[in-house]
Amino acid sequence: MLDEKCIFCRIIKGEIPSAKVYEDDWMCVFKDVEPKAKVHLLAVPKTHFKLIEEAGEDGMEMLSYMLTKIPAIARENGCENGYRLIINQGEDAGQTVFHLHIHILGGEKLGDL
Ligand code: AMP
């Protein structure tokens, strides 16, 4: 289920352009528009939910599927020597887009947070 007001749902639907590097029936991966590392991708499930606790059984299955796909996607996009995954959960964490997403950061030696 997608939300017509959500920017990531609109990217998934192709209404807003993005630099997609991977897509299948369950997930979409595109470049972050304001990269915080040499490689900065966002892995986004093709169902709209804001937080892990809102994912439900289907969402958790989707997240688990995404985690199985991310290593190869990261490797193929310049993260051969490792990468960092981040999920910002809520305002204190700095979440700005309220459609759950996994940041994939790498392509260089990352510093501390
Ligand atoms: P978060 O702060 O965890 O909610 O992350 C949201 C991320 O989405 C930020 O790193 C933004 O730079 C990124 N972002 C926002 N709009 C777009 C967009 N249209 N295309 C790609 N990345 C975006």
Q: Which residues are CB-neighbours of 25 under 8 A, at least 6 positions away?
A: 46
Q: Is residue 113 part of a domain?
A: no
Task: Please report the pLDDT score of residue 111 as a whole number.
Answer: 92
CATH classification of the domain holding 67: 3.30.428.10
Kindly give the distance from the C-alpha atom of residue 44 to the centroid of ligand 1, in angstroms, as a whole number. 11
- The number of domains in the chain is 1
Q: Is residue 1 part of a domain?
A: no
Model confidence, pTM = 0.97
> Is position 101 annotated as part of the catalytic site?
yes
Q: Beta partners for 80?
A: none
Task: Please report the pLDDT score of residue 13 as a whole number.
Answer: 96
Kindly give the distance from the C-alpha atom of residue 10 to the centroid of ligand 1, in angstroms, as a whole number. 13
Q: Is residue 66 part of a domain?
A: yes
Phi, psi of 42 (to 5 degrees): -120, 120
Across the chain, which has 113 residues, the per-10-residue mean pLDDT values are 93 97 98 98 97 94 97 98 97 96 98 82
Domain span at 34:
7-106
